[in-house]
Amino acid sequence: MANGNSNDEYKDLSDNMRHYANMRFAQLTLYFAVTAALITVVFTLDPALPGDLRLLLKFIGVLSAAAFGVMEERAADYWHYFRRRAEQIEIVLGYKQYTDRPVARVFTSTNAARALVWGGMALWLLAAICGH
């Protein structure tokens, strides 16, 4: 048995999960702000930007969506790791906060964030390819 206090580790895990949940929300908020700014600039008709600059900004939209997608995946990985560890410790402590939580299979926060970010990247790619 490892030295240490399971209660302390459990509290740390809960804090870490809260941190990553807040980080994911902040990243998604920032992603929407960046995307809204790019949409406003790229698709403003008066005055319209030169075609080359519009194309460049569309690819910046693709890159920003990819970057936020990677950040979301990594933050989600950490959150899920800490949750699984908390479930293991709950067995020792007799707690049920995470082990008895409602479980969604498809309609999860992680999948919703994936759909938003990766879907946004697909739309930027489509806009760049189709020239609109």
pLDDT tens for 79-102 read: 999 999 999 999 999 999 999 999
Q: Where are the domains of the chain?
A: 6-130
The per-residue pLDDT for 87 is 97
Q: What is the pLDDT of residues 33-87, one digit of tens each?
A: 999 999 999 998 788 889 999 999 999 999 999 999 999 999 999 999 999 999 9
User: How far apart are alpha carbons 121 and 128 in whole angstroms?
Assistant: 11
Give phi and psi for 116, each to the nearest 5.
-65, -50
- Assess contact for 41 and 50: CB atoms under 8 A: no
Number of H helices, E strands in the chain: 3, 0
**How far is CA 121 from each of CA 20, 26, 111, 114, rounded to the nearest angstrom?**
23, 19, 15, 10
* pLDDT confidence band for 105 (50 / 70 / 90): confident
